[in-house]
Copies of this chain bind each other. A is one copy, B any other.
Amino acid sequence: MKRNDKPIAVVLASGGLDSTVTTAIAAQNYRLAMLHVNYGHRTERRELKAFRDVCDYYQVPSNLRMELDISHLKKIGGSSLTDEAIPVSKANLESTEIPTSYVPFRNANLLSIATSWAEVLGAERIFIGAVEEDSSGYPDCREAFFDAFNRVIELGTKPDTHIRIETPLIHMKKWEIVRRGLELKAPLELSWSCYQNETEACGECDSCALRLRAFQTLGIEDPIPYVKRPRYV
């Protein structure tokens, strides 16, 4: 099959570890249509750089890259990721509470945008790197949520459109995601995960803690720079 015969998949890519591995998975069977959404979160400039680096790595043409700025999630507020007045909580990987970094209904907003683009492009899939088990308890990261959203897509798009969300990481542990990324030669060194910093990762926010723990579990050094690297295993 020639490259251009592959169907298109829209990939929601933050520039983080999970979405970079998801991109590597999607690239196996689809032409990549890379979608990055800035929603006013603290580290968006650094994530945008990571997104562009990953797009370059996969040689995605410019007409299949979309970078969007949406201000409404910041304006609506309610999260430490978008509201400077709410501090980013230090990681507590044992907690069952929803952390302050939860952006209300964020994934539905992202999937709605992705579906609009997918319908215009004639894409068949939307890939999102959501993870249920290691997901810090965000309600919109669960498989049942994505199943329900697939029903909304089927009912809310044109009859000749058939778009389905794929969540290849949904039941993986973070260390399994890292291992899968290494197997597929995903450019993990280009990805960015920290919720707090943009130059050296803080090592202490939820996102850093989950990432560091995964690499530590595998006994591999995370290739990105950190202010500090606490042991999480």
Contacts and interface: CB of A to CB of B under 8 A. Distances in A.
A120 B157 contact: no
A155 B152 CA distance: 13
Nearest to A163: B105
A104 B108 contact: no
A156 interface: yes
A108 B119 CA distance: 13
Contacts of A159: 139
B157 A104 contact: yes
Contact of A72 (B73, B103, B113, B144): B113
A113 B117 contact: no
A152 to B, nearest CB: 5
A159 B142 CA distance: 13
A77 interface: yes
Contacts of A149: 152, 156
A116 B120 contact: no
A104 B76 contact: no
Interface stretch (A13-21, A63-71, A189-197): A63-71
B145 A158 contact: no
A145 B159 CA distance: 13
A45 interface: no
Given A104-B119, A156-B139, A75 B66 contact: yes
Nearest to A78: B120
A68 B102 CA distance: 21
